[in-house]
Copies of this chain bind each other. A is one copy, B any other.
Amino acid sequence: MDRNVSDICEVYYVDEERVEKARKALSPEKEILAVAETFRNLGDPTRVKILQALAIQALCVCDLAKLLAVSDSATSHQLRVLRSQKLVRFRREGKMVYYSLDDEHIDNLMREALRHIREGEGPVRAGAMKAGEDRV
């Protein structure tokens, strides 16, 4: 059967032009992966607390363990994760190891995330979504 495919392709439901435009806006795959991994590492309540605390002042592992009410080992593991993504740095002082935030972007990310979650807490913005949408 000979159907004229050109007609179909022109109006193809997937808007190729739009897709291409969006594709060009994407960061290279390597960066996408790095960004996702960074966010994933931030995506744990314990680590969020660690970073909020370190935003104020440097702390050692045992301080953090006490603050978080978890074991030293668990704390150390979490710090290892944060270290691997260069989210925290550390300096040695005798037996103690003091951790602090690695750069100012970390704190910025935390603050921006707080702003985001605080937006939805009030009454739902009018027209944000169609009626009958599932709540959080």
- Give the nearest-CB partner of A15 in chain B: B63
Known: A18-B63, A32-B48, A109-B112. A41 touches B43 (CB 8 A): yes
Chain B nearest CB, measured from A24 CB (Å): 5
Whether B36 lies near A44 (C-beta < 8 A) is: yes
Measured CA separation A70–B10 after assembly (Å): 22
Contact-residue size bin, chain A (C-beta under 8 Å from the other chain): 35 or more
0/1 interface trace, chain A 1-38, chain B, CB 8 Å (1 if under):
00000000000011110110111111110011111111
Chain B nearest CB, measured from A28 CB (Å): 7
The residue from B44, B56, B130 contacting A28, defined by CB atoms under 8 A apart: B130
Measured CA separation A59–B70 after assembly (Å): 44
